[in-house]
């Protein structure tokens, strides 16, 4: 399978310029191996350019093998951080392959060049909207391995696992493998392929009485010609897709055996432990360090001034942390003019002032918004604000590293193992080929683990000590010295006609990351729209945070639409319905939401409801939050959500993600805020960076609509964006008080 003659290599590269490949080979020891590579969808592509400067679009490889024990194994480039990707990908593969469900397993691709390839040239049309398989080119095994030598990217994010790897790789690989197995059996049995049935990993020809497990023909199947456009099942043929199969990672997560990055205990290595202190103000460095107290503390091995952080290495993490807490560090002066959040908002306001009513970079335009605003019967103006937020995954950032003999081994929770590897390579001067990254389960990520500065830090400490070190950040470090969801400010204007219809919309804000369309109220039919960006500097370093720009833009846009509805004297849900008149999917979502939330009926005693709808990552989600204000403080009592992702592969898993997105969004809405003092973050741990807890979370009911033939939407992020505006709108309905900044709880003390 490693026939790499120059001639073939050349033709292979020529084929590489197509949009994707599929190839088959024989496994060592017998069995069928299928490799498949595609360029994933749009959001992830632009995200990638942010987290790995210089790298652009990427190709992602998956491998499917059928071994001699009849076990089907898929090796996928996605980590499992709680989104259930591994299980759903297995469902999609097993269904197309007609494999026995209990004999399909999904493994995570190791961070190794053979598994993933990347393409920096941005040369391909987006395959995301194409029907599966019509863009695939058959190729031969080995090409992936060859290309993989130069790869760099392997990402889990952008709610993309099912949409790209599942739809474009697992299903096609499964269907192609099934056809090849059938072809091999037909040849052997001398019967027409069309008469062979497949079910539960067994091939059967009823007329001749022949029957055999897949493994019997797995090796021969590799010799069959590869159909790169295999026939995929239609929905009525699904046996596993669309079912709530139990997730395969859950049993290990209830008995303590699931291994997360922080649990790594590399075999045969004696670990020491590091605790670190990073600069309180971003971009500053250590100018002086007094470690005299730490030197005398129990368990301490080394104290390191690493320039941009201080580390103490000790026999246990707890000893290291106690010791590092006593190190007196002087930091250089920050050049940032921002010392407080008032300063940061002043920076934003200055940029917005300069942009005025028409300036800034035009992000989207339709009709003539300035003219329509000038002629509108009523013009609404509002300024909205969103604070900085930390990701705060439950597993604090950590990394175990061992650098010895010119090689480096890393154990860490990361969303981007290959970029982490590059970062380590350039930081400690060891070639990427000599670095191995082991990446077990992630104890949450939410975008935080798209950055990998902590991995490089651990590698530096391990290199300096020469022995294996497990570095763990305290929660305080994780909260105060990390990467953040950006703060922002948006100035919005709406023009209403005599009848109250929204005829003009203008917004200008300072931050635009991903997805690019998040700032546009595109789901509504508004004749004149102008969306502008007036860029302004952020004091804290940015990192994509669950749903990225939708997290703040969803709040801005959907709160402001609510203002327009009230100004028009129209019910907010009916107002939105009127603006999606020609969008049947959005209309159906809102109608179903009205029904399950009893929107048009009377409110329960002492409560009021608010609504919001956001389409993000290919999924439309509308939510109603019911709030009880009788105590003077918001108490969330119920939440109803309706989602249309086109088609949901695992309804219960999808619901779990939406429920989680809602709680994440409501947590940010109620409590999420990082304040600055002297340029440093004030909040430090869960006592002042608060999370919603059991007693504060409303009942949540999630309804799903499978609207049909559209690309399958994501699950991890789309539940979040409507949560904050739905809550703020509910509070307005209850109190008449419009909340134009977050968080909410402190505004009701």
Q: Which is nearer to other proteins, 120 or 603 (CB)?
A: 120
Q: Smallest distance from the beta carbon of 70 to other proteins, in angstroms?
A: 24
Q: Which is nearer to other proteins, 152 or 562 (CB)?
A: 152
If you search the block for the tokens 């456009």, which residue do you land on? 229
Q: Which is nearer to other proteins, 194 or 693 (CB)?
A: 693
Q: How many residues does the chain have?
A: 749
Report which of 261, 260, 234, 93 is spatially closest to residue 162, judged by C-alpha positions. 93
Q: Smallest distance from the beta carbon of 697 to other proteins, in angstroms?
A: 4
Q: Smallest distance from the beta carbon of 475 to other proteins, in angstroms?
A: 4
Q: Smallest distance from the beta carbon of 667 to other proteins, in angstroms?
A: 8
Q: Which is nearer to other proteins, 201 or 656 (CB)?
A: 656
Compute the distance between CA of residue 318 and CA of residue 312 in angstroms, rounded to an integer.
11
> What distances in angstroms separate CA 464 from CA 328, 402, 539, one per listed residue?
21, 10, 31
Q: Which is nearer to other proteins, 290 or 535 (CB)?
A: 290
Structure tokens belonging to residue 328: 């007196």
Q: Write out 506-550 in H/E/C secondary structure.
A: EEEECCCCCCHHHHCCCCCCCCEEEEEECCCCCCCCECCCCCCCH
Compute the distance between CA of residue 151 and CA of residue 419 in angstroms, rounded to an integer.
10
Q: Smallest distance from the beta carbon of 298 to other proteins, in angstroms?
A: 6
Q: Smallest distance from the beta carbon of 174 to other proteins, in angstroms?
A: 21
Q: Buried (b) or exposed (e) across 581-620, using 16+ Cβ within 10 A?
A: eebebbbbbbebbbeebebeeeeeeebbbbbbbbbbbbbb
* 528 bridge partner residues: 504
Q: Smallest distance from the beta carbon of 344 to other proteins, in angstroms?
A: 23
Q: Which is nearer to other proteins, 184 or 629 (CB)?
A: 629
Compute the distance between CA of residue 7 and CA of residue 273 in angstroms, rounded to an integer.
52
Q: Which is nearer to other proteins, 291 or 492 (CB)?
A: 291
Q: Which is nearer to other proteins, 425 or 611 (CB)?
A: 425
> Quick one: 133 exposed, middle or buried, by C-beta within 10 A (0-12, 13-18, 19+)?
buried
DSSP state of 278: -
Q: Which is nearer to other proteins, 196 or 304 (CB)?
A: 304
SS3 498: coil
Q: Smallest distance from the beta carbon of 693 to other proteins, in angstroms?
A: 5
Q: Smallest distance from the beta carbon of 199 to other proteins, in angstroms?
A: 19
Asked if residues 182 and 196 have their Cβ atoms less than 8 Å apart, the reply is: yes
Number of other residues whose CB lies within 10 A of the CB of residue 270: 7
Q: Which is nearer to other proteins, 128 or 260 (CB)?
A: 260
Compute the distance between CA of residue 409 and CA of residue 342 in angstroms, rounded to an integer.
44
Structure tokens belonging to residue 89: 């990908």
Q: Smallest distance from the beta carbon of 90 to other proteins, in angstroms?
A: 15
Q: Smallest distance from the beta carbon of 231 to other proteins, in angstroms?
A: 25
Q: Which is nearer to other proteins, 478 or 562 (CB)?
A: 478
Report which of 676, 558, 541 is spatially closest to residue 615, judged by C-alpha positions. 558
Compute the distance between CA of residue 179 and CA of residue 195 in angstroms, rounded to an integer.
12
């Amino acid at each position: 399978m490693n026939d790499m003659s120059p001639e073939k290599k050349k033709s292979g590269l020529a084929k590489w310029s197509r949009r994707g490949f599929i190839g088959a080979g024989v496994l060592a020891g017998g069995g069928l191996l299928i490799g498949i590579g595609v360029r994933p969808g749009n959001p992830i592509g632009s995200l990638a350019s942010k987290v790995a400067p210089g790298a652009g679009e990427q190709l992602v490889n998956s491998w499917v093998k059928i071994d001699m024990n009849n076990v089907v194994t898929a090796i996928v480039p996605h980590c499992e951080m709680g989104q259930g990707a591994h299980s759903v990908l297995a469902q999609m593969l097993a269904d197309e392959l007609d494999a026995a469900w209990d004999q399909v397993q999904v493994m995570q691709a190791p961070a190794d060049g053979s598994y993933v390839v990347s393409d920096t040239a941005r040369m391909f049309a987006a395959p995301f909207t194409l029907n599966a398989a019509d863009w695939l080119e058959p190729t031969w095994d080995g090409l992936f391995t060859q290309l993989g030598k130069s790869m760099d990217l392997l990402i889990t994010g952008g709610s993309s696992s099912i949409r790209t790897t599942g739809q474009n790789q697992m299903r096609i690989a499964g269907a192609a493998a099934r056809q090849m197995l059938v072809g091999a059996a037909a040849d052997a049995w001398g019967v027409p392929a069309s008469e062979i049935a497949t079910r539960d990993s067994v091939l059967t020809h009823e007329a001749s009485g022949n029957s055999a497990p897949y493994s019997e023909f797995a090796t021969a199947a590799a010799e069959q010609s590869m159909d790169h456009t295999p026939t995929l099942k239609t929905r009525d043929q699904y046996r596993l897709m669309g079912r709530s199969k139990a997730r395969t990672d859950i049993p290990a997560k209830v008995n303590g055996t699931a291994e997360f990055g922080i649990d790594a205990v590399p075999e045969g290595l004696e670990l020491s432990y590091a605790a670190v202190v990073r600069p309180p103000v971003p971009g500053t460095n250590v100018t002086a360090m007094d470690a005299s107290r730490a030197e005398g503390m129990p368990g301490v091995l080394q104290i390191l001034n690493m320039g941009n952080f201080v580390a103490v290495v000790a026999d246990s993490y707890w000893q290291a942390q106690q010791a590092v807490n006593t190190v007196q560090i002087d930091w250089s002066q920050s050049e940032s003019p921002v010392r407080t959040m008032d300063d940061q908002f002043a920076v934003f306001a200055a940029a917005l002032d300069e942009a005025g009513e028409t300036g800034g970079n035009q992000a989207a335009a339709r009709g003539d918004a300035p003219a329509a605003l000038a002629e509108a019967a009523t013009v609404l103006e509002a300024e909205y604000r969103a604070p900085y937020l930390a990701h705060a995954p439950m597993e604090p950032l950590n990394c175990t590293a061992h650098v010895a003999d010119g090689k480096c081994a890393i154990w860490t929770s990361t969303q981007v193992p290959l970029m982490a590897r590059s970062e380590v390579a350039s930081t400690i001067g060891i070639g990427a080929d000599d670095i191995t990254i082991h990446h077990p389960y992630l104890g949450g990520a939410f975008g935080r683990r798209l950055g990998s500065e902590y991995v490089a830090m651990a590698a530096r400490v391990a290199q300096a000590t020469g022995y294996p070190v497990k570095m763990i950040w305290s929660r305080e470090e994780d909260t105060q010295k990390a990467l953040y969801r950006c703060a922002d400010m948006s100035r919005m204007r709406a023009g209403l006609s005599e009848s109250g219809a929204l005829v003009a919309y203008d917004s200008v804000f300072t931050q635009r990351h991903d997805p690019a369309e998040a700032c546009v109220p595109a789901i509504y039919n508004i004749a004149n729209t102008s969306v502008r960006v007036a860029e302004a500097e952020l004091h804290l370093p940015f990192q994509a945070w669950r749903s990225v720009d939708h997290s703040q833009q969803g709040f801005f846009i959907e709160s402001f639409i609510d203002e327009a509805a009230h100004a028009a004297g129209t019910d907010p849900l009916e107002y939105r319905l009127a603006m999606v008149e020609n969008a049947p999917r959005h209309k159906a979502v809102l109608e179903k939401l009205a029904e399950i939330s009893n929107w048009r009926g009377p409110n329960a005693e002492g409560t009021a409801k608010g609504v919001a709808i956001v389409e993000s990552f290919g999924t439309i989600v509308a939510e109603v939050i019911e709030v009880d204000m009788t105590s003077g403080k918001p108490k969330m009592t119920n939440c109803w959500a309706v989602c249309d992702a086109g088609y949901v592969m695992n309804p219960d898993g999808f619901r779990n993600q939406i429920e989680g997105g809602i709680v994440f969004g409501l947590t940010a809405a109620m409590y999420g805020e990082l304040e600055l003092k002297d340029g440093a973050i004030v909040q430090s741990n869960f006592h002042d960076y608060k999370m919603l807890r059991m007693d504060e979370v409303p009942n949540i009911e999630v309804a799903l609509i499978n609207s049909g033939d559209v690309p399958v939407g994501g699950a991890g992020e789309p539940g979040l964006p409507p949560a904050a505006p739905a809550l703020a709108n509910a509070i307005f309905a209850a109190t008449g008080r419009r909340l134009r900044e977050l968080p909410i709880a402190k505004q009701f003390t």
